[in-house]
Every structure is written in C-alpha cells, then in structure tokens.
Chains A and B, each alone.
Chain A
C-alpha cells in the first residue's frame, strides 16, 4: 500500500471540449481577456506617464469621439480596416494565407490616384468614381490573382509570395510618387485636385465619409451572403477544409483558388480606392500603413463572419485613435498604439484556448460525461 503514495495526479490536464461551451460563456471569456489586456495596458501606461489610467482611458475615448470630426475620422478608418478584413475573409476561409493585402491596397490606390491626376480635366466626379472603382477592383484583383495562379498550379507557398508582392507594390508606388511628385523635391504627391475636388468622394447628408460607410457596409453584406449562401461560397469552404474532399465533390480546385484570390485582392483594391479617393486624396508608400496585416487579425478573430468584423475593427481603430490622443497629450509618440493593440490581441488570441479546450487542475472536481448525456460529479 505504501507505494500508492507515489501515485499523483498530473498538475494539469488539457482536453478538447467534446461539447462546445455556450455562446454567452465564450463571450464572457473573451470579455475577461479584453479586461485583463486593458489592465496590463493601464499598468504600462501608468508606469510610463504616471497618470491615473482611468483618466488616460477617458482621454483615449475623447481622442476617438470627442468632436464630430474626430468621430467621423474614427468611423472612416474603421470602415477602411473593415473593408480590408472583408476582402481577406474569403481567402482565409479557403486557408489561403493572403498576407499581401498591403500590396493589393496600394495597387488599387495607384490606379485611383492615376485617374484623379490624368482624367480630372476630362471627366466629372461620378463617371470617374465608377471608373476608379472598376480599375481598383482589377488592379487589386490581379495583384491577388498572381500568387493565386502559382498556388493553384504549382503549389507555391502563398504566405511568402503575397508578402513579396507587397514590397513590389511598394516599389511601384514609390516609382509613381517620384513621377507625380508635387511640389518638386517634396518626395510626396500632395493632395490631388485640392480645389476642384474631382475624384474625391462627394459629401452625402452633410458628411464627407458617408459614402465610405455605405460602400463598406454593402461589401459586408455582400461577403456575408457570398460566403454563407452562394454556391461559390460553399466551394470556398470545402476547399478550405480539405482539397481532397473538394476534388471528390467535383470542385475544380485550381479554379476556385484563382477566383477566390481575385475576389480577395479586388476588395482590398477597393480599400485602396477608399484610402485615396475617399480619405487622404493622395498616395504614398504608407497608404496601406500596416492595415493589411491588422486586418488579417480582424478577419481571423471574427472567424470570417463579416458582421462580427464590425465591432472588432471598431475596437482596434478606437484603440489606435485613443492611443494617438494620449501620445500627443502626454508627449509620447504614436507608435504606442501598436504596442497596446499588440498586447490586447495577444490576450484575445490566447483566450480562444480556454473556449476550445478544457483545463482541469489537480484536485479539482471534474465531470465525467456519459453517452446519455447525464453528468456525474467525480472527486478526482
């Protein structure tokens, strides 16, 4: 009997949940993770600026929403991030790691800027907007399509391919920035058509960014319907789960890959159109500004449900704006926002584990589930 003392329970046991936990519990876990992240961020902010973190958060809120203009800029940027995330959703649902959104945005932005620069004398805003939309869809789409072809036909690694496409797009942008430089020597393009505002998104209902919101919300609805209810969306899901099953189901896998990467790139191209024509009215190598990467996380956390992406992008943009506000108020620099966003994302990502897995500690009660669904408490 003495030997029995040697037997100890392992300290921690991890197992996949047989039955998924209810949604309210999952949301609770995510909320807890967010709270924990905000506390950590508060501690960091406090240790840097030595101010009441609550005040700092209030300052962040003010930074994002205090004036009408600020609020609209926050909304505009949230729409931009949302647009990119919506674009990435089909690719990621297909398990195609499109980290080339940055490049696809830039390509869409370049063609939009080109329209504004070269056609401002020949066209009015409305036809030009349509032209820019079509061209940015094509430009972004082609930029996404190229890695798609190689993945479909030869199985190249799309993660690195799309990444390299970003840098090529950045160099192309740099080329055009040098070409369109204004004023000469500034190494920037400057605001295009500042007086005529040709090619700018028109004001609707008295707000400059209403059109951005409408356009992106249309895309959100479109993508939701596309992935959920269309045959093509169904094919995307099957290919993402298993290419073998897809071939078995008579799905033309290469075709689906190429089509989906085109759609994904095209919507990112529209985001470039939004950025140039609907927001900054200029183009630079920073037009995408890392949002192509952040949007990946938005799409992933939303599990490709475009409606869920709305609050997530809003949260991230709010954090960004807020952090910029505290940076300027307390004489820090803007990069603090990425640091804080990073911390919050770490926590949210990590929290998924507790939703998908069961963790039992030594000595704790655990449930043994029987097939008829009855539970029996067992003292471990």
Chain B
C-alpha cells in the first residue's frame, strides 16, 4: 500500500511537469504552430525562475514566501514567453520552417539554461548548493490539514500548490478553447487560417499570442521541475529536455485536448516510475523498463493514425506557414 501510494505520488509529480508542458503546447498547436521548442522553453522557465529567486534570496536574509513565489512564477512565465516570441517572430513573420526553428530554440535555450545554471552553481559553491530553500519550501508546502488525513488522501492533498494549479490551468485552457469566442477564433486559425483571415480574425496576432502564452504555460513546467521535482537545484543532466519531449508527445496522446491531457500526464508518470516499485530488477533491466513510456507513446501514435477519428485529428494547418497572398 505504501509502495502504491509513493508510486502514485511520484507519478503525479512527474505528470505535473509534462502537464504544464503539454497544456501550453496544446494551446500553441491549436493556432497551427507546431513548436518543437517546448523542451527549450521549459528550460527557460526553469532557469530564469531559479535565477530570479536566487538573487532575491541572496540579497534578502529573510525572504518573504509569497514574494519568492511571485518572483519565480513571473520570471519563469515571462522568460518562457520570450522563447515563444523568438519562435513566433521566426515562423510567423519570417516564415521559417517550424520544425527546424523549434529544434534550434531547444538547442539555444538548452545552452542558455545550462550555461547560466552552471554559472549559478559556481556562484553558489557547487552542484546542488544553490540555496533557494525558502522558495522551494514555499513551492512544496502542502495544505495544512493534509498531514492528518489517512495515507491516500494525505498524499493526494499533500502536494505543493503547483500540482493543483496544473490541473486548473489544463481545465481553463480546455474551457477557453471550447467555450469562448476567442477560443473559437483560435480553433479556426489552426484549422484553416485562410478562412479565419477571411472572417476578419487577425491570424498573425492569434498565432503570436497563442504561441507566447502557450510557451509561458509550458515554462511553468520547467519551474515546477526546478522548484518541486529537484527541490530548488540545478543539474545539467538534460532532465528537463527529456520531459519536454514527452510533453510534446502527450499533446498527441491526449489528441489536442488538455482535459484528457491531465490523466495522460499522470499515466505517463506512473509508467515512468513503475520500474522503481517492481521488486528484483537489476540495474540493467531497469534501463530497459524505462523504455515503457516511450513505447506507449508510439503505440498511441499508431492507434491515433489507425482510428482516424475526426475529433482526434491534429488541427488542419498544423506545421504549415500562412501567408495571405500565397494562394
């Protein structure tokens, strides 16, 4: 039972990172932009959020918890949005290839984050020494009553607030896309930008905004990774990048529906950590076991292609540039 609970816990933590990533990317892809820069954007969110609070904590002997959280979240969100902005300027205005641009963004932001992360580590005196303990603790603080509950409930209510925020954001994005006028316009932009344009929708503006805000949301995933998942440290082991790619896969897994993405994210998390709770695995077989989430993604990809349901297809113009006078 304890094993199961701690597996669930690990799965939810893992799932939350990729849920932010995929929720943001879902919003972006609804505008027709396939941004393979998600890993890079999560890097940006993680490192800039960390840098922000690092200097705040360094200069304030008694940092305020709420200010910490505010600084971290705002700087992560803004930095990730800037990443989305670079992508938008290149793909929307300068019409570069989306895949190539996204990959370049991932290379750039990975270098940026690990460069400054490394510098920060040196400033702080070595790997794992970055001291943003107040902020990390504030991020990880559980609800006050959680400890007194029975184990399962205690676990479910015992996460830091960003776990619940991720669910909220995913639901909000889903509601926004399907229930609001602007969301309707956005869907039209991604399905058929020519039509949206003819209907007077500012396609370029929508693409920019959806990509930038989507990037901001994805960036929070990087922040959560840094603050909760690795407890306020920086490690240049490529962990964020790996999770970033899984987040991209999760968008397809959830067939562009961020509500469905919530369960998908947790399922991924469970699969990812499953090896840890299976007894008698050797170190070698653990490595093989870790393939599971990727294999499952491939199977889902195949199933999506086989079923061809109208509702689970990608937005019609995904990956294609739009230029009004091209026709």
Contact = CB atoms under 8 A, between A and B. Distances in A.
Chains A and B touch each other in the complex, with CB atoms below 8 Å apart: yes
Interface string A5-24: 00000000011100000000
B108 interface: yes
Interface majority SS on B: helix, strand, loop or mixed? helix
Interface string A166-193: 0110011011001100000000000000
Contacts of B297: 160, 164
Contacts of B117: 335
B305 A300 contact: no
B205 interface: no
A157 B305 contact: yes
A171 B287 contact: yes
B325 A338 contact: no
B278 interface: no
A342 B105 contact: yes
Nearest to A286: B238
Nearest to A171: B291
A226 interface: no
A336 B115 contact: yes
Interface stretch (A195-203, A214-222, A290-298): A290-298
B96 A297 contact: no
Contact of B107 (A160, A332, A341): A341
Given A350-B94, A353-B96, A342 B114 contact: no
Interface stretch (A148-156, A235-243, A269-277): A148-156
B306 interface: yes
A335 B118 CA distance: 8
B101 A349 contact: yes
A18 B64 CA distance: 61
- Which size bracket describes the interface of B in this complex? 35 or more
Nearest to A296: B103
Given A154-B305, A336-B111, A346-B108, 7 more contacts: A161-B301, A174-B290, A293-B107, A339-B111, A346-B86, A350-B94, A353-B95
A223 B246 CA distance: 33
B283 to A, nearest CB: 5
B291 A345 contact: no
A252 interface: no
B288 interface: yes
A175 B301 CA distance: 25
29 contacts: A14-B323, A150-B302, A160-B297, A161-B298, A163-B249, A164-B298, A167-B242, A167-B245, A168-B295, A171-B288, A171-B294, A174-B287, A175-B285, A178-B287, A293-B103, A296-B100, A300-B100, A332-B115, A333-B114, A333-B118, A335-B110, A335-B112, A336-B115, A338-B108, A338-B111, A338-B114, A341-B111, A345-B107, A350-B96
Contact of A342 (B108, B284, B287, B290): B108
B109 interface: yes
Contact of A163 (B96, B245, B305): B245
Given A333-B119, A346-B86, A350-B94, A154 B103 contact: no
Contacts of A300: 97, 100
Given A175-B284, A178-B284, A15 B298 contact: no
Interface in B293-327: 294-295, 297-298, 301-302, 304-306, 314, 323, 325-326
B252 interface: yes
Interface in A129-159: 150, 154-157, 159
B174 interface: no
B218 interface: no
Contact of B111 (A340, A346, A357): A340
Contacts of A164: 249, 294-295, 297-298, 301
A99 B103 contact: yes
A72 interface: no
